[in-house]
A and B are shown apart, each in its own frame.
Chain A
Amino acid sequence: AQKITQTQPGMFVQEKEAVTLDCTYDTSDPSYGLFWYKQPSSGEMIFLIYQGSYDQQNATEGRYSLNFQKARKSANLVISASQLGDSAMYFCAMREALTGGGNKLTFGTGTQLKVEL
């Protein structure tokens, strides 16, 4: 069974600093995908970034980048130049392909990030 671990329940970062949110995973499937979502206090889940297991380069999307270390089974999210609006819960998730088609996600428990002045 797939498993996602986020060991940091809460993190603080100063505005304009970079922050790394940790995510490790466990799977026996050679083909998988890793997603990061942001959930502000309003509750909606916002997709941030995706990394496929066969992707040669680390994914980047604006201020978000994914530090993908396949051998260590880690997929840490790096947020550069933190902003107050980055304060939110962040979830790491792993895609599992289904035999009948499609896929499902397994989520970690999340990291609550607070950006301070």
Chain B
Amino acid sequence: DVKVTQSSRYLVKRTGEKVFLECVQDMDHENMFWYRQDPGLGLRLIYFSYDVKMKEKGDIPEGYSVSREKKERFSLILESASTNQTSMYLCASSPDWLSNQPQHFGDGTRLSIL
């Protein structure tokens, strides 16, 4: 089974802090994704990566950056956390070569910015 592991289930930080959310997958997937989920808005794509050191902006990249130094690890960075970044963050991965393969998700990180 594919395993996508997010480093924390719950995280509380203060405004202005630099926050790192880590995600690791164990299936050698090319693609990795970061979403945020808010009530009534569904999942919105922040950033994604289809290869090591490659990154692409999603639909809501403002206030975020990402890093993918190794294939299995994809980090989301909040450069200076703000209260409007309080949300559930979900990481996902998928293989590149079969378009009907689903994205596999981690358990999510509930981030609160105080």
A102-B108 contact, Cβ under 8 Å, with A107-B42, A108-B42, A109-B42: no
Q: How far is the CB of B44 from chain A (nearest CB, A)?
A: 8
A contact residues around B103 at 8 Å (CB): 35, 47, 105
Asked if B30 is at the interface (CB within 8 A of a chain A CB), the reply is yes
Binary flags per residue of B70-114, CB closer than 8 Å to A gives 1, else 0 = 000000000000000000101010101001101111111010000
A43-B107 contact, Cβ under 8 Å, with A33-B99, A35-B102: yes
A44-B107 contact, Cβ under 8 Å, with A33-B100, A95-B99, A100-B50: yes
Instruction: Add 10 more A-B contacts to A42-B107, A44-B105 (CB < 8 A).
Output: A33-B99, A35-B102, A37-B105, A44-B106, A45-B92, A93-B43, A103-B31, A104-B31, A105-B103, A107-B35
